[in-house]
Amino acid sequence: MGFLYNIEIKHDGLGKHRVITGSNREIVQSKARAQMAEWDAKYSMVRSKVDARRGVEDKVEQAVKETEKARQAIDELQTLLSAVLDIKHAIDWESLKERPAFLNEPPKRPELLGFPREPKPSDVLFEAKLGLLDMVFSTRAEKKNAEAKAKYEMARVTWGKAVERLRQANKESMQTYENEVAAYNAEKQAFEETIASKNAGVDEQRKRYLNKEISAIHDYCDLVLSRSQYPDSFPKEWAIEYQAESKTIIIDYKLPNIDQLPRIKEVKYIKARDEFKETQIGQAECNALYDDVLYQLCLRSVFELFRSDVIGAVDAAGFNGMVTAIDRSTGQTVTACIISLHVTRAEFEKLNWWQIDPKTCFRSLKGVGSSKLHVITPVAPILQLNRKDSRFVSAHAVADSLDSSFNLAAMDWEEFEHLIREVFESEFKSTGGEVKVTQASRDGGVDAIAFDPDPIRGGKIIIQAKRYTNTVGVSAVRDLYGTLMNEGANKGILVTTSDFGPDAFEFAKGKPLTLMNGGNLLFLLEKHGHRAKIDIKEAKQILAEQQPKMNGTSAMG
């Protein structure tokens, strides 16, 4: 599956780094913000703890508080599973939407400048002051009247200019205000449209999920896991794959190693030395706690995925717990699968989750893992992720006739027969084994027997391959098991170019059977240096086109 969007985030204070991917930009951004908020909260707690130790005057009380925190941390680990049993795990799509308020203040309307009073001829200021002489001599009166009128006219002109300046100033103020209002409205509209677009993306993602689109189901399951709260010391990293034909979700989950678990059980303040003394749980208790944590984490992940499935998209779940630790025999850092589980929905529904013991439940579901998980003993995953979308492999016996565009799912059944024999020859030749084809059929199946001389894991091994374009059902697994019993073989291997249904995996549990789907086959081929591809959709079209030609040839014969 190819992702269209990814965001790389990091937190300098914690030294954390993560790349978040998904097919929906808004969902990816939402998860990135949630992760950063979680890191910020964690960093704040770290800083608070440092400051508290420096600044608390009553250090005895501080020791009591830290002891309580330490016990709570261990209690949290012991209740990882029960803590989520009553939680609603289905995604609330509305909660993914953003509803922020537009915080910018709208511009304030300006206060306009008032105009001065318009001068009038009747104003006292413009009245001619006529005396007795002005009454006698008319020319004197006329002169004073003319001067008063001129004074009025001058005042009128001055007033007019002042009004014009004020009117222009008010006009400019209003224009500025209107521009600011337009800018504010545009910014607010853009803000609201951005939020609406993001929320529409959430609605679109919900629609795609309800329509059971594969990428949307993948993103939904990834989101469910990302919203699950674990202690800060847990890696919270995983890879998932949704197989639509079998309705199976597979998780490769990065587990915490034992050194990442909290071990402090008590903090005391030693007055004589003015220091804090930490007491830790013993190694045996730590080992038991670690094993219990991993069993709980495995079951909890499966529980959350089944419980959150509201559209019936998940009929089975596979969990592979991966841990990175130091191999004490070599001193090298290794990453290995140490716990693997396959659960069907029917099995999930039968469990009384409040009453189970995690380890006992894991064993009853035929989970695979060492009896002491803390020893870090690698196990083979029951289901494996197909990590290569393009699915390229090749076979050396037919390498000259194949290239990376050749589709194995549409391969000639006889060539497919030889390909299977030869790839398993490559697998077993390192121990001196050999593989012989015993029979084949035109439906794409091939039976072979491998003889492995290894005294521990070897013996007679029945291999059956199905060049199928449809899901392999439980009947094929039953047939293989019957052949294994009749032949007195030690083990049976069923390999297909397609995939297996949940019933097939359920039947194979607890039996010496290995089921290899198309992805597993390609991994095995690549392991031995060969390249080609598997494309089920293309194969169906090719085989459908070939069928009329085959029928026509048969009729002519």
Q: What is the DSSP string of 401-438?
A: G--TT-BGGGS-HHHHHHHHHHHHHHHHGGGT-EEEEE
Predicted confidence band at 553 (pLDDT cuts at 50, 70, 90)? very low
Range 139-150 average pLDDT: 74
Predicted confidence band at 391 (pLDDT cuts at 50, 70, 90)? very low
pLDDT at residue number 57? 57
Where is pLDDT greater, at 142 or 504?
A: 504
CA 22 from centre of chain: 7
Where is pLDDT greater, at 456 or 63?
A: 63
Highest averaged pLDDT of the listed ranges 143-147, 220-224, 387-391, 449-453 = 220-224
pLDDT at 412 exceeding the cut of 80: no
pLDDT at residue number 55? 54
Burial class of residue 410 (count of CB atoms within 10 Å of its CB; 0-12, 13-18, 19+):
buried
pLDDT at residue number 380? 82
Where is pLDDT greater, at 547 or 342?
A: 342
Strand order in the sheet with 459-466: 434-440, 445-452, 459-466, 491-496, 513-516
Q: Are 324 and 257 in contact (CB under 8 A)?
A: yes
pLDDT at residue number 212? 93
Q: What does the angle CA 479 – CA 484 – CA 485 come to, to the nearest 5 degrees?
A: 100
> What fold characterizes domain 413-546?
Trna Endonuclease; Chain: A, domain 1 (3.40.1350)
Q: pLDDT tens-digit profile of 172-214?
A: 999 999 999 999 999 999 999 989 998 999 999 999 999 999 8
- Least confident window among 182-191, 357-366, 490-499, 547-556: 547-556
Q: pLDDT tens-digit profile of 315-357?
A: 999 999 999 887 666 777 778 889 999 999 999 999 999 999 9
Range 142-148 average pLDDT: 73
Average pLDDT value for the chain: 82
pLDDT at 255 exceeding the cut of 90: yes
Listed by start position, the domains of the chain span 5-78, 110-210, 220-375, 413-546
pLDDT at residue number 462? 86
What are the distances in angstroms from CA 370 to CA 293, 359, 374?
14, 11, 9
Range 523-537 average pLDDT: 80
